[in-house]
A and B are shown apart, each in its own frame.
Chain A
Amino acid sequence: MNNLLIWPVAVPLLSALLALLWPRRSTWIGVLGTALSLLAVVLVSRQVIESGAIELALGGWSPGLGIALRADGLSVLMLLMSTLVSMAVAVYASVYFSRSERRSEFWVLWLLLITALHALFLSGDLFNLYVTLELLGLSAVVLACLGGSRESLQAALNYLVLGLLGSMAFLIGVALIYAGYGTLDMAALAVAIESGPTAWLALSLMTGGLLIKSALFPLHFWLPPAHSNAPAPVSAVLSALVVKAALYLILRLWLALFDEVVTQTAALILGLLGGIAVLWGSWAALQAERLKLMAAYSTVAQVGYLFLFLPLLAALPEGTTRDVALGALVLLALTHGFAKSAFFLAAGVIMQRAGHDRIAELGGTARALPVTAFTLALAGVALIGLPPSGSFLAKWQLLSSVFITGQWIWLPVIAIGTLLAGAYTFRLLGYAFAPGEGVGPSLSVGREEIPAVLLALVATLVLGFWASAVWELVPISAYAGGEG
């Protein structure tokens, strides 16, 4: 049964090969491949939910030498999110790219990206993580410059350089670990790693690399141009998934592998940066004149929220309260993933219809594109953290952790961040609901509008009312020194 684990990686990879060989049918292959990987992920998740963490050593080699795949609660959640989002985006992209000449390139890269993501979430050792990270970064960069404009190329180049820098740092860290402990298997390392120069040097290098990829303030400058200039489906995936992948790794490292090494001060520094990111990102989003730029800055802010959890997690004693906080962190990440992808897809719809995404000229959107306007509103609700979205629950628990740990400093950050998020969301909605002719004539609901609204509904309703599943899954850990 453990062979199941191979499929979430293998299906998109094979589809990518097929798409490469058969470019005329690439759209079909792409959508079908994504759907099949969705199926594979669902099967894996069922397995994990039923019988706990599962592990697969590829090629029969024992962990430590071969490629090990592991699935536990956290990875299953990330997998589910990424596959659901990519499914929706794929459906959207099938319309978005239906007339594009770059259709086949997109689908190949798209499937590769999914492969890399799934592999990353399932990888059980550090080197594999590096490989998948590199693959993810490269395919993301290429996807980002599919837009073809000068700005998008420039942005993609920046993204590439920074991404390589980050990967390099990560690789050095991995090398240090291998030199120090003689293994790269994460389960083994989780037991082996102790506090020491090697450990903290490695951790800071790896974390540093990942921070670039997750665009924590002040390393975020590459993100807004890259995300806002990419084609809409790509932006959606970049913002929703790729950033989260880096974050996932940070969580794995900080909570499972290096939990002995992590100090309160280090966590506090990341938290502080996260706090500044919240404020700065929200403020920048409020100033943004373009819809997609606004969404990109909002991503910066949301990533900041996620980092706010780190000092709190470090301060909380292991046990239920910490699990609750960790669950909240994951839930926030998931909600953001769904909401932000919905937001970008909706922005894409508007851009295609209106030919621009200047916020001030969006009057009439609500009339011409009611479903899309509704999507924007729902996604906005999730971004602010209003009920019934999942982020409301997450924020509640975040505040709760603040009160439990007594780290009052985060209280104003969260408060102001929330208000700013409300401000930029409703600024947008105000324009969208205003009368005007900024967006073309009223048409019936288009196929491309549906995925976005579904994603937004997941973020606001499903993750709100059925969020307790997250807290049930998160404690299922594949790593002994892990979280609880």
Chain B
Amino acid sequence: MAMSVWLPVGILLSSLIPGVLIFFQPEERHRLRTWLNLLGAVIKLLLVGMLIWGVFHEQVFETRWTMAPGLEFVLHADALSVLFVSLSTLLWLVTTIYAVGYLEQTPHRSRFFGFFSLCVTATVGLALAGNLFTFVVFYELLTLATYPLIAHKGSPEALRGARIYLRYTLFGGLLLMIGAVWLHTLTGGVEFVEGGILQYANLDQSTLRWIFLLLIVGLGVKAALVPLHGWLPQAMVAPAPVSALLHAVAVVKAGAFGIVRVIYDVYGVEFAAELGVLTLLGAVAAITIIYGSLKALSQDHLKKRLAYSTVSQVSYIVLGTAIVGPLATIGGLVHLVHQGVMKITLFFAAGNYAEALGIHRVSEMDGVGRRMPGTTLAFTIGALGMIGIPPVAGFISKWYLGLGAVEAGAAAWVLPVLIASSLLNAAYFLPILYRAWFKSQSTPWPADKTAGCTRELPDALLWPPLTTAAMALLIGLLAAAPYSPLEWAELIAGREYRQ
């Protein structure tokens, strides 16, 4: 019994405690810091493994703590949270290793890794949040924990990016909070329940629509829905591991995850459709998908191109959520994981290019495939996945989204969006691959730091992208295998539509 209470807390603490301890470590204690980090990550992984097993067997994991009258801090693990928790935990481990390699010999590492762990704590908390209040708490904490990471370099651009990020997210957080309080006042507490709760609450529909708008705009800022996406391309000034985590797991996903939560576990997807709010959301998602891809086309800066790609890709999740029907739900949910794994690969690779050769722009990438084959292989798999080429994971998401659209009778507008976006994805990813593999080096590398080395990169930099690329490939290939993200998404969809 105690287990079911302590497990969610333990999962939070396994990154919080190392994070706090790391803050107090002097800069030089590199080894201890790394061990702390890895220890936390591994413990968290083990705990999450227990959680997965338990949730699969319908065990209840719940921790409650009254913070104020009517305001309970609830950590609750359901299938949806497990999906997100396991994604963040796994990618945190990989990113930590990468970050250790990436930040070697740079200042302020204690601060960096401290906030890094806090960021993951907030993300995991977000995933485990059992009610809207707790969600808001972690949503804001996430903002706070990421700000120093974006500003980490301290350069004027970094500070500017962080400032813009903050401007957007504080605004979004505020709206989310207002919406949450409003809903809370009307219902007296908003627990996340599979299938939603509001359809039974008998409340004024137009009020609920307004609240929905507030919540979605609040969450949409982090999910980078157009026109709330402005911070994301600016935030790419952060160090590569941060961007990787930001785009794959932490911030952007938090928004998308929140939208999923609100629609499925607060409103209930059928009720939301009844309110007529999903059409609007779907339209926004569609616009975002296309707009992000179009903007990505014209970016020469590699990380910026990836950032706009994120804008576009994350809206797949929203799109899947906005279409009523289990298949679309599966598509949206599974993309939560798939996009994370693929995008983190791309950012790792982008970081490696910058780290090893000083390459920041697409136009500098001619012939990089020959120089850095491992990294470029990882990048290739990630990019192909983003386009939706089978058997990489992205294809599975697109497949289910398309199926869901056809099933829901929305094929007429969703399929064109999917196709246009795939073509655009191809149009901005394939030229990169082309330059990397097929062209030969035309100009000297901007800053060749690995000249004369026999190996492409240190292990800590090379293996994380390769690992995540392999993951992207495997979760696509083994999509139908037990405990795959797809199976899990099917489990969730099954529970959401059970009623």
What CA separation (Å) do A78 and B174 show in the bound complex? 29
A324 to B159, alpha carbons, bound, how many Å?
A: 40
| Cβ contact within 8 Å between B69 and A434 | no
Cα distance A464–B182 in the bound complex, in angstroms: 21
Contact of B166 among A324, A399, A426 (CB under 8 A): A426
Contact, CB under 8 Å: A464 / B67: yes
Residues of A within 8 A of B143 (CB): 386
Q: Verify B71–A393 contact, CB threshold 8 A.
A: yes
Contact B71 A419 (CB under 8 A): no
How many residues on the A side are at the interface (Cβ–Cβ under 8 A)? 41
Bound state CA distance, A392 and B143, in angstroms?
Answer: 14
CB distance from A331 to the nearest CB of B (A): 8
Residue pair A430, B151 in contact (C-beta under 8 Å): yes
Query: Roughly how many angstroms separate A433 CA and B166 CA in the complex, as a whole number?
Result: 14
Given A400-B185, A433-B159, A467:B154 Cβ within 8 A: no
Give chain B residues whose Cβ lies under 8 Å from the Cβ of A468.
Answer: 66-69
Q: Which of A384, A411, A471 sits near B68, CB closer than 8 Å?
A: A471
Contacts of A471 in B (CB 8 A): 68-69
Complex contacts, B67 vs chain A, CB 8 Å: 393, 464-465, 467-468
- Contact present for A435 and B68 (CB under 8 Å): no
B 48-71 to A, binary, CB cutoff 8 A, 1 in contact else 0: 000000000000000001111111
- Interface residues in A367-422 (C-beta closer than 8 Å to B): 367, 370, 374, 381, 384, 386-388, 392-393, 395-397, 399-400, 403-404, 411, 415, 418-419, 422
* Set of chain A residues within 8 Å of B137, measured between Cβ atoms: 387-388, 392
Q: Given A403-B182, A426-B166, A433-B148 in contact, is the A320-B69 Cβ separation under 8 Å? A: yes
Interface of chain B: mostly helix, strand, loop or mixed: helix
* Cβ contact within 8 Å between B171 and A430: no
Which residues in chain B, 179-202, are within 8 Å of chain A measured between CB atoms?
181-182, 184-186
CB distance from A350 to the nearest CB of B (A): 18
Q: What separation, in Å, do the CA atoms of A374 and B148 have in the docked complex?
A: 11
B133 touches A396 (CB 8 A): yes
| A381 touching B144, Cβ below 8 Å | yes
Nearest residue in A to B153 (C-beta to C-beta)? A435
Report how far A327 CA is from B67 CA in the complex, Å. 12
Return B47 CB to nearest CB of chain A, in Å.
Answer: 21
Q: Is the CB of B140 within 8 A of A433?
A: no
Contacts of A433 in B (CB 8 A): 148, 151, 154, 159
Cβ-Cβ contact count across A and B, 8 Å cutoff:
94
Closest to B110 in A: A370
Chain A residues positioned under 8 Å from B302 (CB to CB): none
Closest CB in chain B relative to A189 CB, distance in Å: 29
Per the bound structure, the CA–CA distance linking A380 and B166 in Å amounts to 14
- Give the nearest-CB partner of A404 in chain B: B185
Q: Which residues in A have their C-beta under 8 angstroms from that of B141? A: 386-388
Instruction: Find out whether the CB atom of A399 lies under 8 angstroms from the CB atom of B177.
Output: yes
Encoded as 1 (CB less than 8 Å from any B CB) or 0, chain A from 328 to 360 comes to 100100000000000000000000000000000
The interface size bin for chain B is 35 or more
> What distance in Å separates the Cβ of A96 from its nearest Cβ neighbour in chain B?
24
Q: A381-B144, A426-B166 are in contact. Are A324 and B69 (CB under 8 A)?
A: yes
List residues of chain A with CB within 8 A of the CB of B68.
324, 327-328, 331, 393, 396-397, 467-468, 471
Residues of A within 8 A of B9 (CB): none
A411-455 interface with B by 8 A CB criterion: 411, 415, 418-419, 422-423, 426, 429-430, 433-435
Instruction: Determine if B182 and A386 form an interchain contact, defined as CB atoms under 8 angstroms apart.
Output: no
Residues of A contacting B108 in the complex (Cβ-Cβ under 8 angstroms): 367
Provided the pairs A327-B68, A388-B137 are in contact, do residues A400 and B184 lie with their beta carbons within 8 angstroms?
yes
Contacts of A423 in B (CB 8 A): 167
- The docked-state distance in angstroms from the alpha carbon of A366 to that of B162 is 16
Q: Specify which of B137, B155, B167 lies most central, judged by the most chain A CB atoms within 10 Å of its CB.
A: B137
The residue from B66, B155, B174, B181 contacting A419, defined by CB atoms under 8 A apart:
B174
A415 to chain B: which residues have CB within 8 Å? 174, 178
Q: Is B488 an interface residue (CB 8 A)?
A: no
Q: Cβ of A387 and Cβ of B111 under 8 Å apart? A: no
- Minimum distance in angstroms from B299 CB to a CB of chain A: 26
B92 within 8 A of A: no
Q: Please, which residues of chain B bring their CB within 8 A of the CB of A396?
A: 68, 71, 133, 177, 181, 184
Contacts of B166 in A (CB 8 A): 422, 426
A279 vs chain B, min Cβ distance (A): 15
B136 at the interface (CB under 8 A from A): yes
Residue from the list B136, B155, B167, B182 in contact with A387, Cβ < 8 A: B136
Could you tell me if B159 and A430 are in contact, using CB atoms closer than 8 angstroms?
yes
- Give CA–CA (A435, B155) in the complex, Å: 7
A59 to B192, alpha carbons, bound, how many Å? 59
Q: Distance (Å) between the CB of B410 and the closest chain A CB?
A: 35
When distances are taken between beta carbons in the complex, the residues of chain A under 8 Å from B185 are: 400, 403-404
* Shortest distance from the beta carbon of A411 to any chain B beta carbon, whole Å: 7
Q: Are B154 and A327 in contact (CB-based, < 8 A)?
A: no
A381: B residues at CB distance < 8 A: 144
CA of A374 to CA of B108 in the docked complex: distance in angstroms? 14
B36 contacts partner chain A, Cβ-Cβ < 8 Å? no
Please determine whether B163 and A426 come into contact, CB atoms closer than 8 angstroms: yes
Residue of chain A at shortest CB distance from B175: A415
Whether B159 contacts A434 by the Cβ 8 Å rule is: yes
Could you tell me if A422 and B170 are in contact, using CB atoms closer than 8 angstroms?
yes
Collect the chain A residues with CB atoms within 8 Å of residue B182's CB: 399, 403
Residue of A nearest to B108 (CB): A367
CB contacts (< 8 Å) of A467 on chain B: these are: 67-68
Task: Give chain A nearest CB distance to B382 CB in angstroms.
Answer: 32
Which among B138, B140, B147 has the greatest number of chain A C-beta atoms within 10 A?
B140
Q: How far is the CA of A455 from the CA of B145 in the complex (A)?
A: 20
Cα–Cα, bound, A468→B70 (Å):
10
Distance A188 CA – B65 CA, assembled complex (angstroms): 40
- What is the chain A residue whose CB lies nearest that of B171? A419
Contact residues in A for B181 (Cβ distance below 8 Å):
396, 399-400, 403
Q: How far is the CB of B207 from chain A (nearest CB, A)?
A: 10
A435, B73: Cα distance in complex, Å: 38
For window 176-231 of chain A, which residues contact chain B by CB distance below 8 Å? none
- Bound CA span A423–B170, Å: 9
Instruction: Kindly identify, within residues 121 to 136 of chain B, every residue whose CB is under 8 Å from any CB belonging to chain A.
Output: 133, 136
Q: Within the complex, what minimum Cβ distance (angstroms) separates A406 from chain B?
A: 10
Contact B140 A399 (CB under 8 A): no
Contacting residues, chain B, for A388 (C-beta < 8 A)? 137, 141
The distance from the CB of B132 to the nearest CB of chain A, in whole angstroms, is 11
> Is B178 touching A327 in the complex (CB atoms < 8 A)?
no
CB distance from B106 to the nearest CB of A (A): 13
CB pair A426–B147 under 8 Å, yes or no, is yes
Contacts of A419 in B (CB 8 A): 170-171, 174
Chain B contacts of A434 at CB under 8 A? Answer: 154, 159
> Which A residues from 312 to 332 make CB contacts under 8 A with B?
320, 323-324, 327-328, 331
Q: How far is the CB of A458 from chain B (nearest CB, A)?
A: 15
- Give CA–CA (A320, B181) in the complex, Å: 17
CB A132 to nearest CB in B, in angstroms, measures 31
A418 touches B174 (CB 8 A): yes
Q: Which residue of B lies closest to A436 (CB)?
A: B154
> Which among B67, B147, B182 has the greatest number of chain A C-beta atoms within 10 A?
B67
- Name the distance in Å between B66's Cβ and chain A's nearest Cβ: 5
Could you tell me the distance between the alpha carbons of A240 and B143 in the complex, rounded to whole angstroms? 27
Most buried by B among A396, A415, A426, A471: A396
What residues on A are CB-neighbors of B151 within 8 Å? 430, 433
Q: List 7 A-B contacts (CB under 8 A).
A: A320-B69, A323-B69, A370-B111, A386-B140, A418-B170, A433-B154, A468-B68
User: 10 shortest A-B CB distances, which residue pairs?
Assistant: A387-B137, A399-B181, A403-B185, A422-B170, A435-B154, A393-B68, A386-B140, A387-B140, A324-B69, A400-B185
Other than the known A415-B174, A419-B170, A433-B151, what 8 A-B pairs have Cβ atoms closer than 8 Å? A328-B68, A366-B111, A374-B23, A396-B133, A399-B182, A403-B181, A426-B163, A430-B163
Instruction: Write the residues of chain B forming the contact surface with A, with a CB cutoff of 8 angstroms.
Output: 23, 65-71, 73, 107-108, 111, 133, 136-138, 140-141, 143-144, 147-148, 151, 154-155, 159, 162-163, 166-167, 170-171, 173-174, 177-178, 181-182, 184-186
